[in-house]
């Protein structure tokens, strides 16, 4: 089996680097890699497992045809493999309707996104077998099949699944339809619902977006539609009884879509292949609006990503370096709603104002190019949001670019380490609000200095960010927390769901081992604010007692109340507890320092 170049270089560099000083001025250091300890948890919620992915294949070696899996999910030959990885889109149907009798929770999945992201990011698509996951790429059965083989970069793709969950019966139902369009969807990345209608959507092999709809009151599938004007979609939101979605467009900008369908006619009479599938365009942004928020009921806000930003969880784009004029990522405020509290097509050309941009904080232009605003919500008079940055795309851009502010191709393992450590960024956490003098922005968790490349050298130096955090260091004081994946506001608290890549990072550096050391702090993080004027507390730092769950991709407040539905993410497809998990958090009477176990 081939071993990809960077892993080999890192492995060769590791014995030397462990005995050497950490790269100068790096935010990430060997001391942190080897010795960082996660903070204690102070849980305020009890956690119940509602559902998890099942083993769906038997793995018996890279390039080996998959032996049959037994009905009970065991393998007579090989080991069980769990391909469905994330609760990628999550929504609640029937909200506010006491007569609704269907399944309220709907979600869609994606399979093996760690393989897709690696194939288009830092790592070439060579087979990679680790102690916890495998990416077969061109050696996969789907890439080797004689009829319609998948390209190597997509060899680990599996058809996404749609599910519903009934909170009364505690019953999980697979709603995946017999619809050929599902054979073209990379993953069901987003979900939205209004009344009895439930819609899942995601990017396709054709580089457009597919929508699939159900009548949630009965579970009846209502069909699908491909939107050829779009190339990406992520989050939906309902405000004042209107359902909106943020989407990326083929032209490179982003749009706010308004749903105009009904449960029986979800695409408003549109043909199965059309530009917008019956949605109205009611807003236009310079960048892709990845996350949406309701700003005090008066307007929408959006977190946006650059055209050049690689979203490694999807593995559908290769990063490209853009000039400063095309860096459009950041946080945007839309125009005020009309007198009816809605956006219409008349608002499609209205200005969206950017109130924060990554380049206001990030000092290295290449890293700024690969940083986007993450999950966002409105709570206690502020917009709260965090950042998302992928070190794979930052390393790739730095090493493939020939401009003066780019590192260039690393010459050896030590230079690989220097580059990797200096472009890794923990997520910064922010809040903003509009005042009579304009936008007021505060850094809550972040850095006063960040490393930036000295032009025409291979040296990084610390540069001031111009900000002083109110509460702590980036990543909620954890250098391995890099994605602000989800956020959920309740009456009494605010929860941030984070991606903690420490275990994946340890595997990349060849220092992960079994049995798992519980002090390493593996697993996704949930951080909880109960007061805008005090620091956050750790709800969990171990994936809600499941270390393979390395992040929390989605959250929602059940019935807009205090309890939370959480969608977990894990591409560790060879782990018994890898893959997606759906959990239900209910408030305890008082926070406790004892673990949930």
DSSP of 282-334, one letter per residue? EEEESSEEEEEEEETTTEEEEEEE-TT---TTT---------GGG---EEEEP
Contact in structure between 543 and 522 (CB atoms under 8 Å)? yes
Instruction: Return d(Cα 348, Cα 431) in angstroms, integer.
Output: 27
Residue spans per domain, the chain? 5-587
Cα dihedral across residues 243, 97, 580, 426: positive or negative: positive
Q: What mean pLDDT do residues 390-409 have?
A: 92
Q: What mean pLDDT do residues 162-178 have?
A: 98
Contact in structure between 36 and 506 (CB atoms under 8 Å)? no
Can you name the residues that pair with 464 across neighbouring β-strands?
449
C-alpha count within 13 angstroms, C-beta hemisphere, residue 199: 34
Helix, strand, coil percent values for the chain (each to nearest 5): 15, 35, 50
Contact in structure between 110 and 161 (CB atoms under 8 Å)? no
- 211-245 pLDDT, tens digit each: 999 999 999 999 999 999 999 999 999 999 999 99
Q: 307, 301, 311: which is closest to 329 by C-alpha?
A: 307
Q: What is the CATH number of domain 5-587?
A: 2.130.10.10
Q: What mean pLDDT do residues 362-380 have?
A: 96
Q: What mean pLDDT do residues 451-460 have?
A: 96
- 536-588 pLDDT, tens digit each: 999 999 999 999 999 999 999 999 999 999 999 999 999 999 999 999 999 99
**Residue 187 scores a pLDDT above 60:** yes
Confidence of residue 356 (pLDDT cuts 50, 70, 90): very high
Q: Distances in Å between the alpha carbon of 316 and those of 13, 185, 257, 384?
A: 30, 11, 22, 28
Contact in structure between 235 and 190 (CB atoms under 8 Å)? yes
**Residue 310 scores a pLDDT above 80:** no
- 78-130 pLDDT, tens digit each: 999 999 999 999 999 999 999 999 999 999 999 999 998 655 544 457 999 99
Q: 341, 307, 344: which is closest to 322 by C-alpha?
A: 307
Question: Mean pLDDT across the chain, nearest whole number?
Answer: 91
pLDDT at residue 131, as a whole number: 96
**Residue 289 scores a pLDDT above 60:** yes
pLDDT at residue 517, as a whole number: 87
- How many other CB atoms are there within 10 angstroms of residue 449's CB atom? 15
pLDDT at residue 309, as a whole number: 56
The residue that leads in pLDDT, 9 or 166, is 166
Highest-confidence segment of 112-116, 368-372, 510-514, 530-534: 530-534
Residue 34 is given by DSSP the state H
What number of residues does the chain have? Answer: 597
C-alpha count within 13 angstroms, C-beta hemisphere, residue 26: 22
**Residue 312 scores a pLDDT above 50:** no
pLDDT at residue 120, as a whole number: 52
What the block records as the tokens of 158 is 């599996």
Instruction: Return d(Cα 497, Cα 486) in angstroms, integer.
Output: 5
Backbone angles phi, psi at 332, to 5 degrees: -120, 145
Q: 3, 2, 6, 1: which is closest to 122 by C-alpha?
A: 6
pLDDT at residue 589, as a whole number: 83
**Residue 298 scores a pLDDT above 90:** yes
């Amino acid at each position: 089996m081939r071993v990809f170049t960077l892993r080999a270089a890192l492995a060769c560099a590791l014995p030397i680097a462990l005995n050497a000083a950490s790269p100068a001025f790096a935010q990430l250091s060997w001391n942190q890699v080897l010795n960082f300890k996660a903070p204690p948890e102070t849980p305020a919620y009890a956690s119940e497992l509602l559902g998890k992915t099942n083993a769906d294949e038997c793995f018996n070696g890279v390039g080996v045809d998959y032996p049959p899996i037994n009905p009970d999910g065991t393998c007579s030959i090989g080991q069980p493999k769990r391909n469905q990885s994330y609760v990628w889109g999550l929504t609640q149907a029937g909200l506010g309707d006491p007569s609704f009798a269907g399944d309220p929770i709907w979600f869609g999945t994606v399979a093996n996104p760690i393989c897709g992201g690696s194939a288009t990011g830092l790592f070439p698509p060579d087979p990679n077998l680790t102690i916890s996951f495998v990416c077969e790429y061109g050696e996969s059965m789907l890439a080797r099949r004689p009829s319609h083989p998948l390209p190597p970069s997509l060899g680990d793709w599996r058809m996404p699944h749609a599910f519903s969950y009934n909170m009364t019966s505690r019953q999980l139902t697979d709603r995946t339809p017999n619809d050929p369009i599902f054979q073209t969807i990379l993953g069901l990345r987003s979900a939205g619902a209004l009344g009895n209608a439930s819609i899942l959507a995601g990017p396709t092999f054709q580089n457009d977006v597919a929508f699939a709809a159900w009548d949630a009151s009965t579970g009846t599938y209502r069909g699908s539609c491909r939107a050829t004007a779009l190339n990406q979609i992520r989050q939906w939101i309902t405000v004042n009884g209107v359902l909106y979605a943020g989407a990326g467009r083929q032209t490179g900008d982003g749009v706010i879509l308004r749903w105009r369908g009904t449960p029986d006619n979800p695409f408003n009479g549109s043909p199965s292949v059309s530009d917008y599938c019956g949605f109205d365009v009611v807003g236009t942004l310079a960048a892709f609006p990845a996350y949406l928020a309701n700003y005090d009921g008066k307007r929408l806000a959006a977190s946006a990503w650059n055209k050049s930003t690689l979203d490694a969880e999807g593995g559908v784009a290769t990063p490209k370096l853009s000039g400063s004029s095309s860096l459009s990522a950041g946080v945007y405020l839309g125009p005020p709603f009309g007198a009816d509290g809605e956006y219409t097509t008349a608002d499609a050309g209205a200005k969206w104002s950017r109130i924060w941009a990554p380049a206001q904080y990030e000092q290295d232009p290449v890293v700024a190019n690969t940083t986007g605003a993450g999950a966002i919500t409105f709570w206690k008079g502020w917009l709260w949001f965090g950042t998302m940055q992928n070190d794979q795309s930052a390393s790739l851009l730095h090493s493939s670019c020939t401009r003066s502010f780019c590192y260039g191709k690393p010459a050896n393992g030590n230079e690989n380490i220097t580059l990797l450590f200096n472009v890794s960024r923990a997520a910064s956490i922010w809040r903003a609000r509009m005042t009579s003098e304009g936008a007021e922005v505060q850094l809550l968790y972040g850095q006063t200095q960040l490393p930036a490349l000295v032009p025409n050298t291979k040296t990084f130096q610390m540069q001031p960010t111009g900000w002083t955090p109110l509460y702590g260091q980036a990543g909620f004081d954890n250098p391995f927390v890099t994605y602000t994946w989800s956020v959920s506001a309740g009456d009494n608290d605010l929860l941030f769901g984070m991606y903690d890549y420490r275990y994946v990072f340890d595997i990349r550096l060849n220092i992960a081992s079994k049995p798992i050391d519980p002090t390493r702090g593996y697993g996704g993080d949930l951080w909880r604010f109960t007061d805008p004027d005090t620091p956050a507390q750790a709800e969990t730092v171990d994936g809600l007692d499941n270390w393979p769950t390395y992040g929390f991709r989605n959250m929602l407040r059940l019935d807009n109340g205090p309890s939370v539905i959480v969608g977990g993410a894990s591409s560790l497809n060879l782990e018994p507890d890898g893959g997606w998990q759906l959990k239900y958090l209910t408030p305890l009477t008082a926070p406790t320092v004892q673990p949930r176990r």
